[in-house]
Amino acid sequence: MTAFDRPTAWLTDWLPEIIGWRQDFHRHPELLFDLPRTAGRVAQLLRSFGCDSVVEGIGRSGVVGVIQGARQASGQSSGQSPGRVIGLRADMDALPIMERTGREYTSTVPGKMHACGHDGHMSMLLAAAKYLAATRDFDGTVVVIFQPAEEGGGGGREMVQDGLMDRFAIQEVYGMHNMPGLPVGQFCIRPGAMMAAADQFEITVTGKGGHAARPQDGVDTMLVAAHIVVAAQSIISRNTDPMAQAVLSICTMSGDSTAHNVIPQVVKMRGTVRSLDPAVQDRVERRLNDLVTGTAQAFGATGMLDYRRGYPVTVNALAQTGYAADVARRVAAGPVDAETVPQMWAEDFSFMLNARPGAYIFTGNGDSAALHHPEYDFNDAALPFGAAWYIGMAEARLAP
């Protein structure tokens, strides 16, 4: 039995228990940093597995478990140092969505659901932690990281700023996410930019409101806003290198009047910019500001842009991407795409990758609803593959 056959056998025996964890998390979703039940359950399980230490409250509500290899646990390593240290990360928070899956384990909290599979990510990493704590067949230390507030709260940034990397001496860090549409048991990854930076903006157009029957007496803010919506797309099509990926979307527009016959005094628009290159990110922000102010001025209105940088680009280190792909090939039930196309989603694991070299990989969720959809559900058949990949990363990167 090889090092990669053994986890498969163990995980097969444990699968009903792992599915039980996943479906329990699914029934009880919590949002952002407010994760008392979720984080508490994670910490309880890690302690029951025999982790050498379990620390709660990192990055406000994150949980970290430390598992030492056989030599470190017995004090045989020189100076009882942790030796080589890798971090393995999963996210914990759910989304403010009303579930429509109809599952028997559907969310018990109205308006909240695990619509992105974080319930599955936690369960896969917990299974890996249980295995690694039982076998300790590696030379070094594994740090399992359970992160809050991936869904817009920047929990990855909070954990890094709270000393995660230095406190636990992490040298490399790895993360994983499920991907609907990719067959269960398959993986995809790429070196370099894996996912986009995500910025948010609000545009305020101020004109002169009035009666819709006499537009000549005012400055029509809806007309100005419409020109901005159309013209903003030229930033991507005409100000951005065609070989550089970027997307600008204006997603909401609202005036300060809801009457059918009133031209509003003020119109606000909100949207997002996603890019894979910091230079493109800078250019889009600059051009959007110029376009908003210039277009509004041309119509006799004023335009203001409030632009907020969000999660940075998720960048996979070259060597660590190779390690992650090699392990995926050993545990996969199908081909591994090691040169997949970048995704324009954003992921705050990027803050951890900015702090330490590492890689982020996708694993298949099969033919499911899309992420963030009210009918999405994590595929329990994917649990053994994700857990085996986490285990494989620990044993490969910390091989004696």
Q: Are 303 and 295 in contact (CB under 8 A)?
A: yes
- Which amino acid, residue 121? H
The alpha carbon dihedral of 118, 349, 389, 183 has a sign of positive
345 φ, ψ (degrees, to nearest 5): -65, 170
Tell me the residue ranges of DSSP E strands in 7-164: 53-58, 62-68, 85-91, 141-147
State how far the Cα of 240 lies from the Cα of 1, in Å rounded to an integer.
Answer: 53
State how far the Cα of 282 lies from the Cα of 192, in Å rounded to an integer.
Answer: 19
Q: Are 363 and 386 in contact (CB under 8 A)?
A: yes
Q: Establish whether 285 is a catalytic residue.
A: no
For residue 294, give every residue at least 6 positions away whose Cβ sits within 8 Å of its Cβ, in sequence order, or none: none
- Enter the DSSP assignment of 117: S
State how far the Cα of 11 lies from the Cα of 185, in Å rounded to an integer.
Answer: 14
Closest CA to 280 of 306, 308, 250, 243: 243
Cα–Cα–Cα angle for 79, 159, 17, rounded to 5 degrees: 85
Catalytic residue among 30, 91, 93, 151: 93
DSSP string of 239-252, one letter each residue: SS-TTS-EEEEEEE
Q: Establish whether 93 is a catalytic residue.
A: yes
The tokens for 348 are 């705050």
Closest CA to 350 of 169, 157, 185, 190: 157
171: three-class secondary structure by DSSP? coil
- Enter the DSSP assignment of 274: E
Q: Are 203 and 304 in contact (CB under 8 A)?
A: yes
161-185 burial, b for 16+ CB within 10 Å, e for fewer? eeebbeebebbbbbbbbbbbebbbb
Catalytic residue among 150, 158, 172, 347: 150
Catalytically active residues, by annotation: 93, 150
